[in-house]
Homo-oligomer: A and B are copies of this chain.
């Protein structure tokens, strides 16, 4: 029935959705950017708006991705775990990981620690590594739980607690300056969560004791730099038992991503992860290289997830002009996809969307819906000819939520199973649980 098997390139432009910016004459970066290739795909395909989670709910990058891949919020393992995985740190069940920052705090008269700089002046790797070593040397174990601290990049690190612990513990990082460091609290009524919170509290207090007067910080203070005098863990995560992407959708997946979180997300769902020379997860990344890699991979894999972090980086810097440039570079990079697609030379379905909006005006994730386009040979088209937040609002996909996307794609590949058939889901091509009938001997 189907000559060739169709496949998908799923391009997530991180944080691309935006709001009108006064620096761009009240247009969004995506409206301002010249995007001939995205526009061609919009014209030859279907468009719409997606609320990755729900209207008005700002997704984190982790749960935004999980939602687009068709998983529920309950299935998201927590960002600490995903980043640990992205850095190649494996966890067993019951072990948990936190994202951490080296931060600068100041003690007030009442013994509260106020956050002065959440990133300790974006402390450089060399100094952070030295401070990290001091912490590792002094803290190996707290109340019988094995403690590992791994410095990663600049002010960032990963804390791993190896025991029988709970991820339901609140962030120590207040996520804002001029606020006190928060006491970690159990988020559910459970002995494990209480114990985990207590261990995290001990860890944080210990880091302050070790770091505050450390030689590196004495020197930083002397140079007028903020001390990196505490480690603030946040976003606890641990292994969850979810179906792999292949099990869930019957598609063999690959990922092209550079940022550790995104590699971690892909790994946690059983995607094969590829990195590309010159890719940086920053606006200076190798856009063309990533798309070329995707075009290679799509020969062998059914679903190639390509992640481009740059728009979100510009958004967090609140630089709407850089974001506009970044979007134009993405657009240039996809020209080959577009040529193949428009000339009907390819059986690839191209999807372009975003895991969340990050308005440059605020520099924070927002709950505004993200634009999406789905374009491929033989798929429906709508009247939208331009890819932007505004134009996509009148697209044929209307406004859907993230969990609808994969089911729609499966159907575009003619792989969605008709409701009512008593066959293994999601697709007749994937029947691991089924057995053939055997003749009796």
- Chain B residues closer than 8 Å to A19, beta-carbon distance: 378-380
Q: Check A436/B112 contact, CB under 8 A, given A366-B414, A381-B20, A420-B63.
A: yes
- Chain B residues closer than 8 Å to A359, beta-carbon distance: 378
Please tell me which stretch of A122-130, A133-141, A277-285, A395-403 contacts chain B, meaning at least 4 of its Cβ atoms lie within 8 angstroms of it: A395-403
Interface residues of A in 422-441 (CB under 8 A from B): 422-424, 428, 433-441
Interface of A is mostly: loop
- Shortest A293–chain B CB gap in Å is 28
Flag if A56 contacts B419 (CB, 8 Å).
no
Q: Check A20/B378 contact, CB under 8 A, given A56-B410, A183-B438, A440-B205.
A: yes
Q: Among B204, B363, B389, B419, point to the contact of A380 (Cβ < 8 A).
A: B389
A107 sits at the interface (CB 8 A)? yes
A362 sits at the interface (CB 8 A)? yes
Which of A64, A363, A365 is packed against the most chain B CB atoms within 10 Å? A365
A76 sits at the interface (CB 8 A)? yes
- Chain B residues closer than 8 Å to A112, beta-carbon distance: 436-439
Flag if A60 contacts B418 (CB, 8 Å).
yes
Q: Chain B residue with minimal CB distance to A168?
A: B422
Q: Check A416/B366 contact, CB under 8 A, given A170-B422, A437-B183.
A: yes
- Chain B residues closer than 8 Å to A434, beta-carbon distance: 170, 182-183, 185
Q: Among B54, B380, B412, B419, point to the contact of A390 (Cβ < 8 A).
A: B380
Q: Among B362, B393, B398, B423, point to the contact of A414 (Cβ < 8 A).
A: B362
Q: How far is the CA of A390 from the CA of B174 in the complex (A)?
A: 46
Flag if A423 contacts B205 (CB, 8 Å).
no
Q: Check A398/B49 contact, CB under 8 A, given A62-B420, A111-B439, A420-B60.
A: yes
Q: How far is the CA of A408 from the CA of B56 in the complex (A)?
A: 4
- Give the size category of A's interface with B: 35 or more
Interface residues of A in 13-29 (CB under 8 A from B): 19-22, 26, 28
Q: How many copies does the complex hold?
A: 2
Flag if A407 contacts B1 (CB, 8 Å).
no
Flag if A182 contacts B435 (CB, 8 Å).
yes
Q: Check A436/B205 contact, CB under 8 A, given A55-B404, A170-B422, A383-B390.
A: no
Q: How far is the CA of A168 from the CA of B185 in the complex (A)?
A: 40
A340 sits at the interface (CB 8 A)? no
Flag if B419 contacts A57 (CB, 8 Å).
yes
Flag if B393 contacts A396 (CB, 8 Å).
yes
Flag if A208 contacts B439 (CB, 8 Å).
yes
Flag if A407 contacts B57 (CB, 8 Å).
yes
Flag if B185 contacts A435 (CB, 8 Å).
yes
Q: Among B175, B394, B418, point to the contact of A423 (Cβ < 8 A).
A: B175
Q: Scan A207-236; emit 1 where CB is below 8 A from any B CB, else 0.
A: 010000000000000000000000000111
- Shortest A403–chain B CB gap in Å is 9
Q: How far is the CA of A416 from the CA of B53 in the complex (A)?
A: 13
A417 sits at the interface (CB 8 A)? yes
A364 sits at the interface (CB 8 A)? yes
Q: Chain B residue with minimal CB distance to A22?
A: B378
Flag if B419 contacts A63 (CB, 8 Å).
yes
Q: 3 nearest interchain CB pairs?
A: A60-B420, A56-B407, A180-B436
